[in-house]
Each structure stands twice: as structure tokens, then as C-alpha cells.
Copies of this chain bind each other. A is one copy, B any other.
Amino acid sequence: MSTAAIVVIGNEILSAKVADENGPWLSRELRALGVELRRIETVPDEVPVIVDSLRRAIGSAKSVFTSGGIGPTHDDVTIAAVAQCFARRVVTDDRILSSLRSHFGERLNAARRRLAEVPEGAIIDWCPGSLFPVISVENVAVLPGPPMLFQAGFARIRDRYRTAPIFTRALYFAIGEGSLAEHLDAAVAQFPSVAIGSYPRFDDSDYRVKVTFDGRGEEDVRRAAAFVRARIPAEAVLREE
């Protein structure tokens, strides 16, 4: 089973200066690829905290993505954290450096040279014409924070992660969770391969509860939804999607 974890790095998100777009965006992409996202951690620009978070992400999922903390300034510490996590040195990548040299010419100062620093032995997914390669170490892919760059970076490596799809059905009910719970319990027991979620609404939407059925086996998903549906009075079932 293909699983993933995301580590979102940046004081700007924790201090509410910027809303994170990359976690939600990548969640949707991974879902479409059939990858099960196991956790998202949003952490500050501090190497020890990032390393701890990376270790947990690596321990809990097959693929790990970082967002942010890439660049030439003092608060860009993701490369150092990834290197430390894998006990590797930070080295200068010649190909990135030469690309930076041709772009910046005489303006290639010490700060900009930092953009060529990578954990030793990293895989560099290069895209001609872009100054931002995607840097990977083992199962950790390092993506830049600005959403446009994050998305462009992921697009370059996306096909690596494609796996068997997750099938889903949803039932919408006119009755509350308290009336549904025992039937959902029965379905959970009957269909262990199907993940069943129950989501009540308390606003003015046209349903009171949405119940979702997710799984790798399309037939089991369909049967689990039918099983619940058969136990509920027809007038309480608004629709199935």
C-alpha cells in the first residue's frame, strides 16, 4: 500500500502570515494518484524540529514530501535538516552551481551559491530552463514553498507515485449521526477493507450526514455502501454519489 507524509516548513504559516496551500493541494494530488496520506506536520524553521518531524514522516509512510525552507536566506534550513536526518554532509552540486553561474553571472554571491547546496548523494530532478531542481534523498522529495514552484516541482516527479486507485462512494442522509451509528458499526465490522467516515453538517446544507466508503476494491466499496443503505429507511437516504 502506497502511503505518504508531508512536512510543511515555515514560521510564516504558524504565525498566520500565509495560509498553507501546498498541504491541501498535495493531499488532492496524492488522493488522485491512489496514495494514502498518513500525516501532515507543519513545523517552524528550526533544524532539530524539522529533523524530528522528518524521522517520524519517514517511519510512518513510504514517500515523504517537504514544503518550504529552500532558498538563500537564514530561515531556509530544509536542506540542512534533510542532510542531518540522513547523516549526510551538505555539498555543492556542480550542475546546479553552473546553472546559477550562467543565470546570475557576477551577481552570484555567497547567498545565491547556497541554492546549489544539497545533501550528499541527493538525486537532482533537473528541468532545463528552471532554476529550481527537485532534490530527493531516498524517499524524501524536497519541494520549494511558493505554491507555483511547489506545483511545478511536483509535476516533474508525479508519475513516480502513481498506484492502484482508491474507489469511493458517498451516501447523504437526512437523519443524524446518532441514528446512523449502529449501522455504521455493523458495516465497519462486515467490511474491514473499506474505510468508512461519517461527517455531520450543522449548517443549512441539504443533508445532515455524509458517509463515505473508501477502498482499493471497487466491489467491496459498492457492497459496503449498499449494506448501510439497506438498513436505513429509504426516505432518510437523500442520494448516493
Chain A residues at the B interface, C-beta cutoff of 8 Å: 11-20, 23-24, 27-28, 30-31, 36-45, 49, 60, 71-76, 104, 107, 109-112, 114-115, 146, 148-149, 166, 177-182, 184-185, 188, 195-203, 212, 214
Contact = CB atoms under 8 A, between A and B. Distances in A.
Contact of A212 (B17, B19, B49, B200): B17
The binding surface of chain A is classed by DSSP as mixed
Given A111-B178, A181-B73, A182-B111, A37 B14 contact: yes
Contacts of A18: 199
Contacts of A44: 38-39
Contacts of A148: 202-203
Given A12-B199, A14-B38, 17 more contacts: A14-B36, A14-B40, A17-B199, A23-B42, A39-B41, A39-B49, A40-B41, A71-B200, A73-B180, A74-B181, A76-B198, A104-B178, A111-B177, A111-B178, A111-B179, A148-B203, A149-B202
A11 B71 contact: no
Contacts of A13: 27, 40
Contact of A73 (B42, B74, B149, B184): B184
Given A37-B15, A39-B41, A185 B74 contact: yes
Contacts of A196: 74-75
Nearest to A180: B73
A27 B15 contact: yes
Contacts of A198: 71, 73-76
Nearest to A13: B27
A150 to B, nearest CB: 11
Nearest to A132: B202
Q: List the 6 shortest-distance A-B pairs measured between CB atoms, nearest first.
A: A111-B181, A112-B178, A16-B27, A73-B198, A40-B42, A16-B28
